[in-house]
Amino acid sequence: MARHAKKISQGTAATEHLSAGILALCFPMLEVKAILAECKCLAKRDRELPPAVMVFFVIALNLFPGVEYQGVLRWLLNGLRWLGGGSFTVCVKSSLTDARKRLGSAPLRRIHESLARPLANPKSRGSYWKGLHLVAIDGSTLALQDTEGNAATYGRPSNQNGNGPWPLARFVVLVEVGTHLIFEAVFGTYHDSEIPLARKLIKHLGSGMLCLADRLFPGFELWKEAAATGCALVWRAKTGLSLTHVKTLRDGSWLAHWHPDEKASRKRREAPHLVRVVEYKLHDKACPGRDEVYRLITTILDPAAASAMELAALYPQRWEIELSIKETKVIIRRGSITLRSKHPQLVEQEFWGLLLAHYAVRKMMAQAALENDLNPDDLSYQRSMEIIKARQAGPALPSPPKGKAAGS
């Protein structure tokens, strides 16, 4: 029986099909459509590539960084040809690019803000410490396609030897330590400092949390804003940070006054912060004499609540956020050096798609670990990503469904 070819991007059928996929378990279609409506991105007419489909397409682009656009669309809508009783052709790349431009970055960002939430389950191993929800903050950069538009919009590094090979974008994220879920993020240009970007995330901290951070972040104003949220802070500080000793405590830690710099003090007459300091050395057996001094500052002032030894043992958990960033920059993208977007307006969209793809993998891992009483660290991120790729659209359908002859 002859069949008429039609495009694989048939709007309504594609949307219904995607609502049953694994990605839609993390990002339910009804909620995605509600956010699209909020962003005024719902199509005014029936398009071959409706916005809801393009949301999942952008996420899928980041699961297949080395695959061309049409191949990603085929994977995303795998099996759709059986729904309408016909074979399908695929839209040209320019149509997919135009559809991405119509979608913009705002819906992907809003989807991440609304749906990419921490698991926040006390039973999830590694997610809580002394009853406090463990989170961490850190930042990094992403290399972009070397186009004139990307360079003009995002900037690139340079030194005495000339310009860097690629434009770069900078981002800062908040991560749930135990599950590696990135639940808040801010995106900027290469020339944006991590500290101002981090200040945009501080409002998402709160009582019942404990935030870890590396020595780049302790600044008087940032610390003040973070501490005001009620979140407990354990941040590494530079050993040269100017602190005035107040009192030595029984566990060897000490209370200190952290004063604002002279300019800020004269301008605003700010009082110093009272912090607790924990200092210790890490001995490198492979390199005797190259011991590294660590200085932690914390808002937990009472040693009875957390001893110096406990805080020193806790701080290495901060490296979990380094693994999350590595997963987004290296593992999920299979070592691709740059994002694929050549247009500046699509770079930020791809960034949010990247975070949503990472979230989908990590949420599946977190739920599997919780159901089997495992630590999420014991599961393979790479393997979990392959499971999502294999099961997004159900069976690969190597043979036609019952009643449909091959090639008919």
Q: Alpha-carbon torsion 384, 389, 395, 396, what sign?
A: negative
Of 113 and 332, the one with more pLDDT: 113
Q: How do residues 142-186 score in pLDDT, each as one tens digit?
A: 999 999 999 999 999 988 888 889 999 999 999 999 999 999 999
> For the residues 264-270, what does the mean pLDDT come to?
61
Distances (CA, A) of 217 to 49, 141, 195, 207, 314: 43, 16, 6, 20, 18
DSSP state of 338: B
Q: Which of 80-84, 176-180, 205-209, 274-278 has the lowest mean pLDDT?
A: 80-84
The alpha carbon of 330 is separated from its chain's Cα centroid by a whole number of angstroms, namely 13
Q: Does domain 116-158+166-339 have CATH number 2.10.240.10?
A: no
Share of the chain above pLDDT 90, in %: 63
Q: How far apart are CA 223 and CA 219, in angstroms?
A: 6
> Please, are residues 351 and 341 in contact by the beta-carbon 8 Å criterion?
no
Q: Which residues neighbour 365 within 8 Å (Cβ) at sequence distance 6 or greater?
A: 179, 180, 376, 379, 381, 384
Cβ burial 253-292 (10 Å sphere, 16+ → b, else e):
bbbbebbbeeeeeeeeeeeebebbbbbbeeeeeeeeeeee
Query: What is the domain partition of the chain in residue ranges?
Result: 1-115+340-408, 116-158+166-339
More confident residue, 333 or 247: 247
2 has pLDDT over 60: no
More confident: 160 or 4: 160
Cα separation, 186 vs 173, in Å, equals 7
- By the 8 A CB rule, do 5 and 69 touch? no
Let me know: does 170 contact 348? Beta carbons within 8 Å.
no
From the list 360, 367, 354, the residue with the least C-alpha distance to 173 is 354
- Output the CA torsion 31→34→36→42 (10° steps): 120
Confidence tier at 4 by pLDDT (50, 70, 90): very low
Question: pLDDT for 25-66, tens place per residue?
Answer: 889 989 999 999 999 987 665 566 788 889 999 999 998 888
pLDDT, one tens digit per residue, over 190-222 is: 999 999 999 999 999 999 999 999 998 989 999
7: burial class by Cβ within 10 Å (0-12, 13-18, 19+)? middle
Q: Terminal CA-to-CA distance of the chain, rounded, Å?
A: 6
Q: Give me the pLDDT at residue 85, please.
A: 37
Instruction: Please state at what angle helix 11-18 crosses helix 51-63, rounded to 10 degrees.
Output: 50
> 396 pLDDT exceeds 70?
no
pLDDT at 11 over 90: no
Report the C-alpha gap between 131 and 122 in whole angstroms: 8
